[in-house]
Structure 1
Amino acid sequence: MQTKTLSPSEVQTNQPRVHTAPNICAVIASAAAGFLITNVKIGGTLSPFLTSLISALTPLYGTAALFGGICSALVTGSVWKCIAELSAAVLTVIYCKIFSRQKGSGIKAIAAGLIYFICASAVSAGSGDWVLFAAVFFRGLMCSAASYCMCETKRLARGGCSDNGNAKMNSVFYAGIVYMIIIAALCSKTVWIINAGRIAAGFCTAAAARKFGVRGGGAVGVLSASAFLLAEQSLGRCGAMLAFAGLASGLYHIRGKYAVNICFICSAFGITAAAGMPSGTPEFIADMGIAAALYCLIPERLYMPKLNGICSVRSKGEDIRSDRLGFAAQVLEEVGNDVETASDMLSRCTEAPDEKISDIVRNTVCGKYCSQRKCTAVFCAVSDKTADDCFKAAEALAESKGSVTCGELPTGFDGCRAKAQVAYACTHAMELRALQSRKSAFVRRFLEGASEQLSASCGIIMSMAEELDPRFKEDFSLSESAARILADCGIEAKSVSVAFDSDLHPFAEAYICREKKIPEPDMAEMTERLGLLLGYELSKPAIICCGEGDKRIMRIRWRTEASYTPDCRILAFAAESGVSGDSHGCFEDGRGNYYIILADGMGKGARAAAESSMAVNMLRRLILSGAGLESAIRTLNVLMTAASPDETFTTADIMEINLYSGATRLIKMGAAPTVVMLREEETAYTEVYSDCSAPLGIIASAKITEEHFTLDSRSRLVMTTDGIGPEHMGYITALLENETLTCEQICDKIMAASDENELSSEEKMRRRDDKTVAAVRLYKI
């Protein structure tokens, strides 16, 4: 074990790595798609869909699809029959490589259709049959249409579609055409009684029924039937039975994945029995059974995010709301910069040399009593230098004492007839200078606080704007289903949302106008049913309320089970009166972020406890409201600075842990050091993070520094307040090295060692401080 103390400049931030290498799985999938789609027949002849597929892919994946198509032609011995399709595919790969920056779906589609028409016309030129040329022309149009649908479906899978009605219909149309092409390609492969197209269609029908209900199951069933007829007319009866199974299973989509699957199997078997077991029944039953088994075994997170992208709608209203918030934040930032500039100008003006007190006195007193404003005019024995020295001495006396009396003036004023007026003028000028200084300091402090408050408000608005980021895709169908679940449980929600974050984790959120707390049984039932709807086990929801009476609003957030669960143990000791000036809090924001806050109020006793408790509670509410961690700290700092005219302060130690990845952020505002045990492969080491920021409540424009590291199930850390002195850091490190100790045992041992150290000295007994220790580790779920 090695111990290392890091300065903030030496702390390394964990940056996500950008992977630019091609995805091997995607290359293999492209080759497989090219292999399957090459043999799809339309009207008894090979389809032009290989060219369409390549035009929708990148040059690398298009080359893989071309390789798959060539392999398919070699395996089936139909190279000459496929010569037009293969030639067009080769030219399309070259076109995509040369014009790789061209992103328009329409241009790609036109190019694909034109390339196919040229190649097919060249192959058919020897026949001289104009009917054949007409067929080639229409097949070129088919190639363009398929290419356009594939490009648009790929785009929708990445970014969603607009909330415009026509755009929604177009997205469904594009996805439907591509789905039919895929199923038709898979139907060309049959092994014994197993048909890949029927299995894929059954799987997709069950998934659509699960997500979209009756409409989704029925629509995908009809599309599957159309694809069956396109590939082979004998499969038409199977398509009709599959459509019925999709309609029936969609009735139970709210009940969860397994309820949909059971209904799908029962309805598929039931419709075949009701139809009198027509020909092809064994094959149909076998394929549907395999599809149902695959639907149960394959996790939804592997395919549902792409389906969300194709079928979800990104509202233009969300975009405009996000833009409005972003614009407001930018304006606030500019205003804050203007206020900061004004504060700097005022500071420079205040620091400029003022008129000397001696000059002020001479201008007001001497000018009134002596026409020449010179002491030598009356007392010829006094030189100008001696008079200047007397006034400077009086000025120094006034500055040191704040005032000066007639008897305290230097002896050089003994013969002055305006001696009393000089003393009064010196005192009055000094009082005016002190008043002006206090006024300037107050204005500077006010401007600094206003600038920092505007900066904090800007951060809050930007954090809220990020909630509307298009990367966080809302699933409107699941949102409606979640609202119905809450209504079934007797909860009328103002709004309900189900969305997926950038890491594809689903979250549910509900806003409810309710004065009373929701009973635990009702909350447990809602959580269980929402988990069945999302196909994930949900953790305990995070709840925050605001307002009172009829205006009380409750926000509930549900999230999926994360990769880690935190174990946090906190032990506190009060130095006097049984009231500790330290406060602490642990909570989760409902998005998978876990927070630990330790606050230490200035001094000891009830006042310190009130200040630290206010800091913890306000930070918790600001973070849970979506203000963002840094903005919450800035806002609290401004409020505490304004509320503390006697410059009381509170230290704060804030840690944010992402329970999905273990990524940790640590912010220390005047707090005691934190000891963290990390591992690099099998080597364990400790890092001590100290602080260089001011506590909360001292200056409005406090500097905030962040320290980043990643925790896992083998990491542990200890946070303390300053009641645990730096002499205990070595002992804490030794405790972290002992992997057999629990977090509770670590806290007990640190507190016991601290007490023993204090009891050994009477001086330390008189200087005892409040103490708080927090030990944290993560357990892999």
Structure 2
Amino acid sequence: MESSIASLMMFIIPVGLPQIFKGAKDFGGAEKCICVSILAGVILSLTSGLQISLINLKDILGVLAVLVMASSVGPGAGAISGIIIGIMGYSFPFSPWSVSILAFAGLISGTFKRLGRIGTVTGFALGYLIYNFYINSIGETLINIPVILFSSGIFLVIPADLFNKLANNLKVLQEQKDGVVIPKLAEERLYEIASVISDMGTFFKEPLDGVNRADARRYFEDVCAEIQETVCCNCGMYKICWEREPRKTVKSLFVLIKDFEKNLFRAMPQLFKSRCKRVEDIKRIVSEKSSIYLMQQRLDKIIDFNRDLICAYFEKASEMIKELAAGISEELDMTLDDKLLFVLSQLGVRPENVFVTSDDNRCEISIVKPPCIGERQCETVIPKGIATILGRRFYTKIIDCPLKTGCLKCRLKAVTYGILGVCVGASGMAKAGQKVSGDKFTFMDLNNGKYMVALSDGMGVGDKASQHSERTLEVTERLLKAGFGSEFTLKMVNLSMMLSTQDESFSTLDLVIIDTYSGRAEFIKAGAPTSYIKRGNSISTVEGDSPPVGILNSISHTIAEKKLKPGDIIIMTSDGAIEAMNGTKDSNDMFLKIIKNLKSSQPQDICNEILDVAKSKGSCNDDITVMAIRISEKNA
């Protein structure tokens, strides 16, 4: 019998005390509670003969163990410890009663754990009184009032640091049902909601049947019909124009309408000059009908823009919910969780929850804790503890602070910085004879581990071109900063440029988005010239063949992905730099030669050097802008 018990204890002790036995698996959950309670019961059985002032030490330690388990873990652990200690700590005739009173009192005390240690003691006393009330005070024979007072006093005076260590060592994972089944159900439910939201967005993609939209063919037919009925019907030339030579008449009207759409009536078609005496009436009809048609066109564009925007909002909401659902079942780094819990407890912090996720060199830590009392731990102690564990640079973001918003919990997030650094340089000059360049550029940290660099060349030169390129970059910045993807951003920029003015307004867009965690770079080109990536002595190119933004209703953009490494240099230019190299097929070869023989690796020096070469080639017939991006490795 003794051998069998000893064999069982070989499995029980390591599970109950994994911190002592190296390599022992920390099961957590009910298994750990049971093993710890068994160890406590064994220790209690060894103290059965010891007394303090006629009070049995076994009874004091038994109640104390139940209080610690209930306060540290919860009602389930309180009840488990009460059952096991009641069985092992008392003689057989009394064990059923001891089991029931300790289990019941432990259950009630665990229910009050959120009120702190005083609440736990109050819950135990309440359970003790209720039990004695129903079984005629038999519980007083097993556990008398002085034992409860003595145990409660010891429990309340345990130092906070020691109690935090006990609580962290006894902290259990959720039961299988709570830890696996419920998250899975939540995940499925969130996916279902995301699907519904995505379907709602599709309702806006196509216009409703019967909605009047600008139709070029119908508009032209209406113009011809009204001119024929109101102007030409009583004209002596009617048969010649509309019966003998209808094609010639319609063609001349088409030219007249096109001239009006371009805001000019430069020269009347020859047919009207030679035959028609009511040209002004025809002009009036064309002007009225064309104004209505152009207004309808503009309204259609506005409706399409807003419909696409609404669809994008629905799709973005759906994507965010799907990401949330995927995060529920994501594997958490429990080893790092436990280490961080231990370090924070050593520093006097009592977090309720710590979740650590990592992907592509990106580590994100979410912490929930009670409100700070005195020192603001979120700003001092907690960053110190995180730095000890991670050993990497990170930034903290306070999500919710009770001292500022009056909420009940303090929530903060710590995110590691990307492993890559980005340094940008830029140089440029306006076209000869112009004070303002139509080229604009921007670069910014998107706060999600990604870095954006963009260059835009507005149509034409001077102030007008500058306004076009500036608007292109402004919309691009705002959408990317809001978290929208590059494809949607390009689509919205295109629609924005089309709606910005009745005149033609378009710009090129050369955009690169760099993930500083993984090194992946996304190159998006809309009418932009070739970009170059220099890695040591080798040079690769990124080309695009799509039109600028603001020309077509739907834009077919070029997106290329590249993997960047520390030391890589990206060079972007406007087409003015290409033209300065004589604008020939050899321009690309000239650029490659210049980049290969660069004297410096500093981005600003590179830009200045390329600009100097471009200026030395001759007169500047267009605005010139050069940007250089150097990728480096960040120090830990």
Superposition TM-score, scaled by structure 2 size: 0.56
Match of residue 769, structure 1, among 610, 623, 626:
623
- 8 A Cα contact 2:219 2:293, kept in partner: no
| Contact preservation (8 Å) 1:565, 1:778 | yes
| Local SS of the residue matching 1:676 | strand
Q: Give the direction of change, closer, same or farther, for the CA distance of 1:354–1:725 in structure 2 (3 Å limit).
A: closer
CA distance in 2, matches of 1:355, 1:610: 38
Asked whether 1:332 is paired with 2:201, we answer: yes
Equivalent position SS for 1:773: strand
Structural mapping, 1:475-554, within 5 Å? 500=357, 505-508=362-365, 525=380, 528-529=383-384, 531-532=386-387, 535=390, 537-540=392-395
Report how far residue 769 of structure 1 moved. Answer: 0.8
Change in Cα spacing, 1:558 to 1:672, as seen in structure 2 (3 Å) is farther
Residues 569 and 532 (structure 1), Cα distance of their counterparts in 2 relative to 1, 3 Å cut: closer
Q: Quote how far apart the aligned CAs of 1:689 are.
A: 1.3
Describe the SS at the equivalent of 2:541: strand
Structure 2 residue aligned with 1:257: none
Q: 2:555 aligns with which of 699, 702, 715?
A: 702
Matched, 1:225 2:225: no
Question: Match for 2:602 among 727, 740, 743?
Answer: 743
Residue 445 (structure 1) aligns with: 301
The whole-number CA distance in structure 1 between the counterparts of 2:181 and 2:566 is 36
Give 1:328's aligned amino acid: I
- Counting only pairs closer than 5 Å after superposition, residues 316-395 of structure 1 correspond to structure 2 as 320=189, 323-338=192-207, 346=213, 349-351=215-217, 354-355=220-221, 363-364=229-230, 388-389=243-244
In structure 2, relative to structure 1, the CA distance for the partners of 1:234 and 1:436 (3 Å cut) is closer
Within the candidate set 541, 565, 590, 2:420 is matched to 565
Unaligned runs of 5+ in 1: 1-40, 48-179, 188-194, 209-215, 252-291, 293-303, 376-383, 414-418, 490-495, 512-520, 545-549
Task: Give the residue type in structure 1 aligned to 2:555.
Answer: A
| 1:676 counterpart (533, 540, 543) | 533
Distance 1:463 1:652, change over 3 A: farther
Flag the 1:625–1:725 CA change in 2: closer, same or farther, 3 A.
Answer: same
Q: Contact 2:506 / 2:551 at 8 angstroms: preserved in 1? A: yes
The answer to which structure has the higher helix fraction is 1
Contact between 2:13 and 2:35, CA under 8 Å: does it hold in 1? Answer: no
CA RMSD, Structure 1 to Structure 2 (Å): 5.8
Question: Where does structure 2 lack aligned partners over 5 or more consecutive residues?
Answer: 47-60, 74-164, 166-172, 258-264, 369-375, 400-404, 406-410, 582-586
Q: Report the 3-state secondary structure (helix = DSSP H, G, I; strand = E; otherwise coil) of the residue aligned with 1:650.
A: coil
CA change 1:716–1:469 in 2 (3 A) is: farther
For 1:774 and 1:565, the matched residues in 2 are separated by: 16
* Counterpart contact for 2:546–2:556, Cα < 8 Å: yes
Show the counterpart of 1:648. Answer: 505
Structure 2 residue aligned with 1:147: none
Q: 1:638 and 1:369 mapped to 2: Cα distance?
A: 45
2: distance between equivalents of 1:365 and 1:703?
A: 45
SS in 2 for 1:665: strand
Matched, 1:457 2:313: yes
- Distance, in Å, in 2 between the alignment partners of 1:595 and 1:366 is 61
Structure 2 CA distance for partners of 1:624 and 1:525, relative to 1, 3 Å = farther
| Distance in 1 of aligned mates of 2:444 and 2:396 | 11
- 1:501 is displaced (CA, Å) by 5.0
Q: What SS does structure 2 have at the residue aligned with 1:645?
A: coil
CA contact (8 A) 2:395 2:416 kept: no
Distance change in 2, residues 1:386/1:43 (3 Å)? closer
After the TM superposition, which residues 149-188 of structure 1 pair with which residues of structure 2 at under 5 Å, given as runs?
Answer: 183-184=11-12
CA contact (8 A) 2:191 2:325 kept: yes
SS of the aligned residue for 2:420 comes to strand
Deviations 1:709-741 (A, max 9, x none): 212235432223333217464455456657984
1:625 Cα deviation from its structure 2 partner? 2.9
CA distance in 2, matches of 1:530, 1:602: 54
| Contact 1:678 1:716 (8 Å CA) reproduced | yes
Query: What do the CA deviations read for 1:443-489 (whole angstroms, capped 9, x no partner)?
Result: 5434443443344334432443344132366889979x99xx9xx99
What aligned pairs does 1:699-738 form with structure 2 within 5 A after superposition?
A: 699-713=552-566, 715-725=568-578, 727=581, 729-730=588-589, 732-734=591-593
More deviation in 771-780 or 431-440?
431-440
The answer for the alignment partner of 1:778 in structure 2 is: 632
Contact 1:398 1:427 in 2 (8 A): no
Residue 704 of structure 1 deviates from its aligned partner by 3.4
Q: Distance in 2 between matches of 1:605 and 1:700?
A: 26
Instruction: Return the structure number with greater relative CO, CA threshold 8 A, min gap 6.
Output: 1
| 1:674 Cα deviation from its structure 2 partner | 1.3
- Tell me the number of residue pairs that the alignment of Structure 1 and Structure 2 aligns: 470
User: Equivalents in 1 of 2:615, 2:219: separation in Å?
Assistant: 51
Q: Which residue identity does 1:225 align to in structure 2?
A: V
Query: What SS does structure 2 have at the residue aligned with 1:648?
Result: coil
State the SS of the aligned residue for 1:691.
Answer: coil
Q: 1:468 aligns with which of 302, 324, 334?
A: 324
Deviations 1:184-234 (A, max 9, x none): 4978xxxxxxx99951488849xx8xxxxxxx9xx987555357699xx79
One-letter code of the match for 1:694? P
Distance in 1, Cα, partners of 2:488 & 2:512: 15
Distance in 2 between residues matched to 1:523 and 1:738, nearest whole Å? 51
Q: Distance in 1 between matches of 2:44 and 2:362?
A: 38
* SS at structure 1 position matched to 2:550: coil
Assess, with a 3 A threshold, how the Cα gap between structure 1 residues 186 and 567 changes in structure 2: closer, same or farther: same
Hey, what's the Cα distance between the residues in 2 that align with 1:639 and 1:497?
44
Change (3 A) 1:623 1:529: farther
Matched to 1:329, the amino acid is S
Aligned to 2:119: none
Kept in 1: contact 2:14–2:21 (CA 8 A): no
Amino acid at match of 2:21: I
Equivalent residues in 2 for 1:107-122, closer than 5 Å: none
Conserved 8 A contact 1:506-1:534: no
Tell me by how many angstroms 1:771 deviates: 1.0
Q: Is the 8 A contact 1:395 1:426 kept in 2?
A: no
1: CA distance between counterparts of 2:508 and 2:609? 23
Secondary structure of 1:638's partner?
helix
Q: Give, as a single letter, the amino acid of the residue that structure 1 aligns with 2:217.
A: E
Task: Tell me the residue number matched to 1:691.
Answer: 544
**3-state SS of paired residue (1:566):** strand
Alpha carbons of 1:467 and 1:725: their partners in 2 closer, same or farther (altered >3 Å)? same
In 2, Cα distance between equivalents of 1:366 and 1:594: 64
Q: Matches of 2:235 and 2:572 in 1, distance apart?
A: 71
TM-score (structure 1 length as normaliser):
0.47
Percent of pairs identical after alignment? 16
Q: Is the 8 A contact 1:394 1:426 kept in 2?
A: no
Q: Deviations for 1:474-514, whole angstroms, at most 9, x for unmatched residues?
A: 889979x99xx9xx99xxxxxx9955255684324799xxx
Aligned 8 A contact 2:531 2:571 in 1? yes
Q: String of CA shifts for 1:666-705, please: whole Å, max 9, x gaps.
A: 21222232112469xxxx7533112233333334432333
